[in-house]
């Protein structure tokens, strides 16, 4: 198999994981890293022996890479992604996709015009537990889903100043609603608050999905322990997925009493699945499992969640974007 020449822009906390995973993938040839921080670049050079740059344009000209992960702060995603696409290079942009719908639309249009692969880092779609929950729902194991309840809590020590917890954490669960149900929510009502961070650091939201399904989201950067939970209540039982403890359980009640079922599951590293899929989409010209359009829609719903919290109103979701 021909290896795809890749690079990572932004080698902070999460970007270092992209670097490591690309270095482990046989489908990737890790060529370079880009960052503004010279100390981080020195470390990358030492650990991975790749070329390092402060400017993405210069890197592309020199290294002739075919794919780049953009793993920088959200406010820089659009500028970097557009530079990458305008040099005809495929791109995976971390979530949240961009800071505004306008930026997100511009990126989606540019990728489409140039027939390039555009993926968004909605990593939960590549999580083995989530993939299994989707399969169980399709098989109707707990009957028709009625309520999806998400908790994604944890301490955030760094002061992320460009976004709040809604665009950082709740956006994962917003995307999961769409992924698991194959449907877009139709309305949202939310509360947010701020204790220790520049932007909102806790939020709750209720989203309605056609077919009488409701979804409850609780997210914060304040909880001392990491909580990652999803409970799907169906007409015939519940599915409980605990991603922090890597446990998936089905509970059902019948005339013989309560039953617990633990489905067999092979846990793969989600980022490895995501980056492998990104490279496959480039090779086979496939639409990514989490596409630019998915990134755009998740961002739109997150913005409406913030609007609801600000106005105290239920917001209808209409998805009226210019033709993509
Ligand atoms: N999918 C996930 O589960 C997941 C997890 C963590 C972070 N993220 C996302 O990854 C992105 C980065 O998060 P992080 O926690 O690694 O942040 P970070 O602050 O640790 O790292 C960002 C890096 O980008 C560099 N940078 C800033 N501007 C740049 C520019 N113009 N060009 C090149 N480099 C630049 C910084 O110097 C820094 O090294 C964010 O969008 C975040 O939401 C996603």
Could you give all domains of the chain from N- to C-terminal order, each with its CATH number? 4-123 (3.40.50.720), 124-270+303-316 (3.30.360.10)
216-271: per-residue pLDDT in tens? 999 999 999 999 999 999 999 999 999 999 999 999 988 888 999 999 999 999 99
> So what's the pLDDT on residue 186?
98
Mean per-residue pLDDT, 59-68: 98
Nearest CA to ligand 1 atom 27: 72
Ligand 1 atom having least distance to the Cα of 121: 1
Pocket test for ligand 1, best of 57, 73, 76, 121 (most atoms within 8 A of CB): 73
Cα of 21 vs centre of ligand 1, distance in Å, is 16
Nearest CA to ligand 1 atom 25: 10
Report whether residue 17 contacts ligand 1, using a CB cutoff of 6 Å. no
Question: In whole angstroms, what is the distance from residue 255 CA to residue 278 CA?
Answer: 47
Cα of 257 vs centre of ligand 1, distance in Å, is 49
pTM of the entire structure?
Answer: 0.97
Pocket test for ligand 1, best of 9, 37, 72 (most atoms within 8 A of CB): 72
> So what's the pLDDT on residue 324?
72
Ligand 1 atom having least distance to the Cα of 123: 1
Mean pLDDT of the chain: 96
Report whether residue 34 contacts ligand 1, using a CB cutoff of 6 Å. yes
> So what's the pLDDT on residue 160?
76
> So what's the pLDDT on residue 157?
76
Report whether residue 173 contacts ligand 1, using a CB cutoff of 6 Å. no
Report whether residue 43 contacts ligand 1, using a CB cutoff of 6 Å. no
Report whether residue 275 contacts ligand 1, using a CB cutoff of 6 Å. no
Cα of 10 vs centre of ligand 1, distance in Å, is 6
Residue 127 in this model has a pLDDT that exceeds 90: yes
> So what's the pLDDT on residue 314?
98
Cα of 167 vs centre of ligand 1, distance in Å, is 14
Ligand 1 atom having least distance to the Cα of 74: 41
3-17: per-residue pLDDT in tens? 999 999 999 999 999
Report whether residue 76 contacts ligand 1, using a CB cutoff of 6 Å. yes
Question: In whole angstroms, what is the distance from residue 321 CA to residue 184 CA?
Answer: 14
265-317: per-residue pLDDT in tens? 999 999 999 999 999 999 999 999 999 999 999 999 999 999 999 999 999 99
> So what's the pLDDT on residue 225?
95
> So what's the pLDDT on residue 91?
98
Mean per-residue pLDDT, 112-120: 98
Cα of 70 vs centre of ligand 1, distance in Å, is 8
Mean per-residue pLDDT, 109-130: 98
180-199: per-residue pLDDT in tens? 999 999 999 999 999 999 99
Share of the chain above pLDDT 70, in %: 100
Report whether residue 94 contacts ligand 1, using a CB cutoff of 6 Å. yes
Residue 101 in this model has a pLDDT that exceeds 80: yes
> So what's the pLDDT on residue 159?
66
> So what's the pLDDT on residue 156?
84
């Amino acid at each position: 198999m021909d290896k795809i020449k890749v690079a990572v822009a932004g080698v902070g906390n999460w970007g270092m994981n992209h670097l490591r995973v690309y270095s482990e993938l046989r489908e990737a040839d890790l060529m370079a890293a880009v960052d503004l921080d010279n100390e981080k670049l020195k470390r990358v050079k030492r650990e991975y022996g790749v070329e390092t740059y402060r400017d993405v344009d210069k890197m592309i000209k020199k290294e002739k890479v075919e794919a780049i992960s953009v793993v920088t702060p959200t406010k820089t995603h659009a500028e970097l992604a557009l530079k990458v696409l305008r040099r005809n290079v495929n791109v995976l942009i971390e979530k949240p996709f961009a800071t505004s719908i306008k930026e997100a639309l511009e990126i989606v249009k540019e990728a489409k015009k140039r027939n390039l692969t555009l993926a968004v880092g909605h990593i939960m779609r590549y999580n083995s537990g989530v993939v299994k929950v989707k399969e169980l729902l399709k098989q109707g194991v707990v009957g028709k889903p009625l309520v999806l309840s998400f908790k994604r809590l944890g301490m955030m020590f760094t002061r992320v100043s460009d976004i709040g917890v809604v665009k950082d954490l709740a956006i994962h669960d917003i995307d999961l609603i769409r992924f698991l149900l194959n449907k877009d929510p139709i309305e949202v009502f939310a509360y947010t608050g701020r204790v220790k961070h520049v932007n909102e650091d806790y939020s709750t939201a209720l989203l309605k999905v056609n077919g009488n399904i409701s979804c409850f989201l609780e997210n914060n950067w304040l909880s001392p322990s990491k909580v990652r939970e999803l409970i799907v209540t169906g007409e015939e039982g519940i599915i409980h997925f605990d991603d922090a403890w890597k446990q998936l359980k089905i509970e059902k009640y019948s005339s013989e009493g309560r039953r617990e079922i633990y489905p067999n599951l092979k846990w793969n590293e989600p980022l490895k699945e995501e980056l492998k899929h990104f490279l496959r989409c480039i090779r086979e010209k496939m639409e990514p499992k989490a596409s630019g359009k998915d990134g755009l829609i998740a961002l739109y719903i997150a913005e409406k969640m913030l609007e609801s919290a600000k106005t105290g109103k239920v917001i209808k979701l209409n998805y009226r974007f210019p033709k993509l």
